[in-house]
Structure 1
């Protein structure tokens, strides 16, 4: 019996095991110093390549349709900046978690969606990638201004959005410009892309693995395993898992109930259920004092890992159903 057969019997996806492997590897051998800086550059280049390939793959008509799909974008923004904060308020009032961790849950609920993983999972699931690109990018752009306001209203925290324009610049340079470049290069490279469709999949999955390893390395170097008791860690895992499950169910069944297509449903599910570690960690440093910020971002770090694991399984399930439908 080979490894593939064993994994099939256990209902385990090799890609999910690879994600767990990145967490274990980062816990044992986290990158530090200049190596971490170099890995960060590699991650950014991988993500830029991902967006270039998506830009080159998508037809101009698909991009226009993605931009003008206002019902989908409004629904995703409602999940991100309305439903999530309401759920965060409920959790913070239950008293299940210690006050700082409860504040961390509320903070993560105020954050925008991820960009690269939302789009990568939508692509793996064969969903509406063009709409996902626009929705996830818009969520991050709006979040730069909406998140500090929500945090100030819900947590009574003093702080500004200094550095906000730097975040806007990073999104434009790292995501939108490569996508536009891919669109412009489409007449030259679309034929080659069509012959090497597997390349998109490798870049999707590879970029997410790099993000997981890089992000968790930073958490380990920052002393994540020394900042919380085992019991609080278990409770935090349960709360984060329950929060994600509620939102995943709401986005999936909400999209179906409102009559969205299966492709749109996938974009709504992946873009509406995520929270951005890349945006959240810098914002926490701005909005909270140094010692507090370290604990505040802990729920976000854990939620980030859980969402990647869960959504990888969901994306693979969607992809399998799509392949079976085509067959």
Structure 2
């Protein structure tokens, strides 16, 4: 329970602050020439390592056991990979009056990435929802997203001008899917080591993402893509994302009630179905968009911070509305504790 309370007290996610600091560093000291090649190569290796660790940490048995609650998982997947993308496609009507084509492509990409795990579990626990379902739904969404997000991007972003090419699917397989599968195959051999050194490897996760962000934003600075974005456009993007989050919270909340789910399941659906994973999305954007990744990841970074702030308030509201009728079960707390120390950090999950 300490993690959700911590998130609810801090208005700005510390990891977002680190990401913004990395962006500032890339703006002041972008990697150029041979240094850019080194940064790109290091980022590529970091992404492969990151997804290898994802695969090695994920329990295949737990993911399969979670399929018993298939209606809930199907609802979360529908929200993540159907409703979100439809809203992202609808945002094309905002070009060019509200959003530039590049920002809209980034917004659409945001709508294609999988859900979170860590923060979804934390908020579900704080709101006294079905924590076990949140664990399974978030994990299943991440696994499905490794395959489905690139396919959706190939279908919906191919001609968007965002720098995406169907050839990026080859890079996705090599940099994301292959390392992930390798991690799954070697999980029995390295799982114990990863568990014992979870905190240290969490720093590896964070450092890898910071390296990816630095390489992407450096390339953007060198190519002058940030000259295309004005403060007014950024403000408009924030407004559009606020509406997007509000719509998804409404759809998942009322939709799950209409489908007949109980209160605890509805809470899990709201927090898993309305959120997007930063750490899964950032490496994918770097692979899919290449030199245009800096603008592509900007909507995701903004949306991540926004969803943390809004969901912290919403989780408190759910917890307060339940009164003193019940408290989080020991099993829920133990699930949350074990997850906090394993898959990644607060930004990803």
Q: TM-score by structure 1 length? A: 0.69
**Residues 10-51 of structure 1: per-residue CA shift (max 9 Å, x gap):** 844432321221111111001112222222222222222222
Quick check: 1:122 aligned with 2:126? no
- Aligned equivalents of 2:288, 2:190: Cα separation in 1: 36
Task: Specify the alignment match of 1:236 in structure 2.
Answer: 233
Partner of 1:30: helix, strand, or coil? coil
Partner of residue 248 from structure 1, selected from 233, 245, 248: 245
Task: Specify the alignment match of 1:303 in structure 2.
Answer: 299
Would the alpha carbon gap of residues 44 and 313 (structure 1) be closer, same or farther in structure 2, given more than 3 Å must change? farther
Task: Specify the alignment match of 1:213 in structure 2.
Answer: 214
Whether the 8 Å contact between 1:80 and 1:111 is mirrored in structure 2 is: no
Shift of 1:263: 5.5
Partner of residue 95 from structure 2, selected from 92, 95, 102: 92
- Aligned equivalents of 1:111, 1:13: Cα separation in 2: 22
**Residues 86-142 of structure 1: per-residue CA shift (max 9 Å, x gap):** 1331x237x356xxx2x4444444446565xx57x5346545233223135302222
Would the alpha carbon gap of residues 129 and 238 (structure 1) be closer, same or farther in structure 2, given more than 3 Å must change? same
Could you list the runs of 5+ residues in structure 2 that have no partner in the other structure? Answer: 1-7, 122-134, 320-327, 335-349
Whether the 8 Å contact between 2:106 and 2:296 is mirrored in structure 1 is: yes
Calculate the aligned-residue CA RMSD, in Å. 4.2
Partner of residue 82 from structure 1, selected from 86, 110, 119: 86
Whether the 8 Å contact between 1:16 and 1:312 is mirrored in structure 2 is: no
- Aligned equivalents of 2:11, 2:34: Cα separation in 1: 39
Partner of 1:270: helix, strand, or coil? coil
- Aligned equivalents of 1:122, 1:314: Cα separation in 2: 17
Task: Specify the alignment match of 1:134 in structure 2.
Answer: 144
Shift of 1:80: 3.6
Task: Specify the alignment match of 1:154 in structure 2.
Answer: none
Shift of 1:309: 4.6
Quick check: 1:42 aligned with 2:42? yes
Partner of 2:30: helix, strand, or coil? coil
- Aligned equivalents of 2:311, 2:36: Cα separation in 1: 29
- Aligned equivalents of 1:63, 1:307: Cα separation in 2: 27
Partner of 1:271: helix, strand, or coil? coil
Partner of 2:275: helix, strand, or coil? helix
Task: Specify the alignment match of 2:15 in structure 1.
Answer: 15
Task: Specify the alignment match of 1:326 in structure 2.
Answer: 333
**Residues 214-233 of structure 1: per-residue CA shift (max 9 Å, x gap):** 221111111235445xxxx1
Whether the 8 Å contact between 1:241 and 1:306 is mirrored in structure 2 is: yes
Whether the 8 Å contact between 1:55 and 1:179 is mirrored in structure 2 is: yes
Would the alpha carbon gap of residues 65 and 268 (structure 1) be closer, same or farther in structure 2, given more than 3 Å must change? farther
Shift of 1:313: 6.2
Shift of 1:197: 2.2
- Aligned equivalents of 2:241, 2:106: Cα separation in 1: 12
Task: Specify the alignment match of 1:143 in structure 2.
Answer: 153
Would the alpha carbon gap of residues 142 and 66 (structure 1) be closer, same or farther in structure 2, given more than 3 Å must change? farther
